[in-house]
Amino acid sequence: MINVLSLDVAAGAMICASFFARLMDVAILPQGLISLGLTVWVIYTADHLLDAKKLNQAAATERHRFHQRHFNVLLGVMILAIVVDATQIYFIRRVVFFSGLWLSLLVAVYFLIQQRFGFMKELLGSLLYTGGVLLIPLSVKGYIPGPFILPVLQFGMVAWINLLLFSMIDQWRDEKDHHPSFATTFGQAVTGRVLLFLFILSALLSVIQLSLFPSKPLATLILVLMSIFLLFIFLKKKYFEREDRYRLLGDAVFMLPFIYLLF
């Protein structure tokens, strides 16, 4: 249920934002984290509700069927979350607020173009997710310190791999429900090759990080572990496809940076 409601995605975003704040030595305020978690949950829920609303038949995925069955309740909860989020925005730092406004415009653009340019849905989604995670530490810091450019790139790549992997496994369901994605546009073979390329590139970035910036080995190893978990899903796709196991593990990888927060 936590996964169906995207609560784990919101929690993962909060954990990853704290991870990058710790890396960049930025103090992150509770209200900023709460606002981030609520915003991520609202975006994901709105996306699922819009997809569910367009269907004239029962959805092919449990996630969308749940949003169909409980559409009005979830819409009400989402509106309440927006109201609570608005109250938190009043207390966040000014620089974070204005950065959030720019990101909100990009979110609006995403919702407008995702149906027409479905093959870019995963790339745009990963960019928005990464932007949301980095919003607080980057807006407070003002720039990305040199040693952390590669971890940011690798994190964005992990987010992209995650969404591409989901679209690959969900291809037949998306085709049935007429949801555009990279996999429905280019097929399994091309999606698989792109994923292999991203896995290799992610591994190369890890080697470069450990060679050039060895001062944060634990952070690099956590990003490597995130990629390994997703690679395991990719290699054992048939197993993880059953009972939506891939979503449970795939979304859980964004909680792994919590390990870094313990030290």
Give me the amino acid identity at 62: E
CA-to-CA dists, residue 206 to 15, 154, 156, 248, angstroms:
21, 8, 13, 25
pLDDT tens per residue across span 202-223: 999 888 888 877 777 898 899 9
The structural domains of the chain, with segments of one domain joined by +, span 7-256
- The average confidence (pLDDT) of the chain is 86
Distance separating the N- and C-terminal Cα atoms of the chain: 30
Q: What is the model's pTM?
A: 0.89
pLDDT of residue 110: 77
pLDDT tens per residue across span 91-115: 887 788 777 778 778 777 777 776 6
pLDDT of residue 186: 92
